[in-house]
Structure 1
Amino acid sequence: MLFGKLLPKEGNFFDLFNQHGTHIAEGARAFMQMIENYADPLLRQKYADEVDHAEHAADRVTAEVNRLLHLTFITPIDREQIHGLINAMDDILDLLQDSSETMSLYDVRAIPEDVLRLGQVSVRCCERVQHAVTLLPRLSKPDTVEAAIKTCREIDKLESDADRIMRSAMSNLFRDERVEVRELIKLKVIYEQLELISDRCEDVANLIEGIVLENS
């Protein structure tokens, strides 16, 4: 009995995943607001600060998950899956913050339509990640398993959409002779960073799908 009392409990890993997923969705929406209000320096900075706030909050969640892993004897899913998932989720917000900072540091003159389109896909990907994470505690239910797999497939499709938008954007960028070389270089980097956000969301979806299949 005493030994059982001394064993660390499962911890609140699923709650922490949910918290992190909320920060991802908040950061993505703030990032989109920053893009949409890019022409207004005050609003641009306001929403960039909100992206930073979401990233810092998510970092604290990631640190807590890793701390709990060292203290918890029995975990609800495989320890490597927990570690891999929380760090993959953290990569998403890191990229959102990096993209926000890049736009500011590069002093992009104007936001092309393709940046808006990539931003919109990024937000949808992040919101789907948030939804997929909320399903993890209920994998014993067949309908939840089906919903989780469906959400992961939706993220895969969004990543493919982002890939197509990025390729089209690059083609338009290099074909437009009115674009100055410096602006071309800036936009090329931004397009690539925005496409990477959906890539990282797909990484999370693949991890979640693996967890679902192994634990359902």
Structure 2
Amino acid sequence: MSFSLFPKSPKFFDLFREQNRTIVQAATVLEKIVQEAGDCEERCQTVNMIEAEGDVITRKITHQLSTTFITPIDREDIHEINVSQEAILNYIQAISARIGVYGFARVRFPARRMVSNLRMMVTEIGAMLAKLGGKEEVELNVRRVKELKGECEMLLLSGLAEIYDVSAKDNCANILEIIKWNQVYDRIDKAVARSWGLAKTIEGIVLKNA
């Protein structure tokens, strides 16, 4: 018989994993969008639908928290996981929306790679959530998320350097392009940062309740 550190009910952990599955789904669709930016309208709509499903789960967790007297982990930890996952999904939706609206003929390599890393980060977080409540270590998962985050930081610098590498003769169209890419990179960076923060939160919960 397996041993659990926490009570079996209420089913916050199941809801967290369900919430994460929507994030992974959205990140996977976003990864396809950035690989084929010229034809992304239907995929952007798919991300929007997934984000709406995620909102429902977020509200379920909030309701469960407000009506539960004894929680399996600290209330503030439940709240932090919930709002962090909601934020990550919202950022993914924001990235896809901007790429769709801006109509890029192609997505630059640093952005494509950062999105791929983001998808791997949220997948690792899903593995961490699957371990939450048991005795399993999450150190290797945290290390992997940190490595992906570090690579994203280097890619961001490379991507920003690329878009600002313009000559004096460049016109307003090029400046608009810089503004558009700044917004895309900003949302990707925020999604990556929030994912790293969530990984650290989960690690802290596991250590606190060991």
TM over 0.5: yes
Equivalence for 1:137? 133
- Write the distance in 2 (CA, Å) between the matches of 1:208 and 1:197: 17
Residues 76-99 of structure 1: per-residue CA shift (max 9 Å, x gap): 111111011111111100000011
- Write the distance in 2 (CA, Å) between the matches of 1:84 and 1:185: 32
Which residue type is aligned with residue 197 of structure 1?
A
Equivalence for 1:32? 31
Q: Is the 8 A contact 1:10 1:74 kept in 2?
A: no
Matches within 5 A, 1:1-216: 10-40=9-39, 44-138=40-134, 141=135, 144-145=136-137, 148-177=138-167, 180-216=174-210
Moved over 4 A (4+): none
Q: Is the 8 A contact 2:55 2:86 kept in 1?
A: yes
Which residue type is aligned with residue 175 of structure 1?
D
Q: Is the 8 A contact 1:122 1:197 kept in 2?
A: yes
Residues 105-134 of structure 1: per-residue CA shift (max 9 Å, x gap): 333343122221111111111111111111
1:153 Cα shift? 2.2
Moved more, 187-196 or 85-94: 187-196
Matched residue SS, 1:38:
coil
Q: Is the 8 A contact 2:122 2:195 kept in 1?
A: yes
Residues 22-49 of structure 1: per-residue CA shift (max 9 Å, x gap): 1111010011111112122xxx122112
1:19 Cα shift? 0.1
TM-score w.r.t. length of structure 1: 0.87
Which residue type is aligned with residue 193 of structure 2?
D
Tell me: higher relative CO, structure 1 or 2? Use CA pairs within 8 A at least 6 residues apart. Answer: 2
Q: Is the 8 A contact 1:27 1:93 kept in 2?
A: yes
Which residue type is aligned with residue 180 of structure 1?
N
Which residue type is aligned with residue 173 of structure 1?
I
Residues 193-213 of structure 1: per-residue CA shift (max 9 Å, x gap): 112211110111111011011
Q: Is the 8 A contact 2:37 2:103 kept in 1?
A: no
Percentage identity across paired residues of the two chains: 25
Matched residue SS, 1:101:
helix
Structure 2 unaligned spans of 5+: 1-7
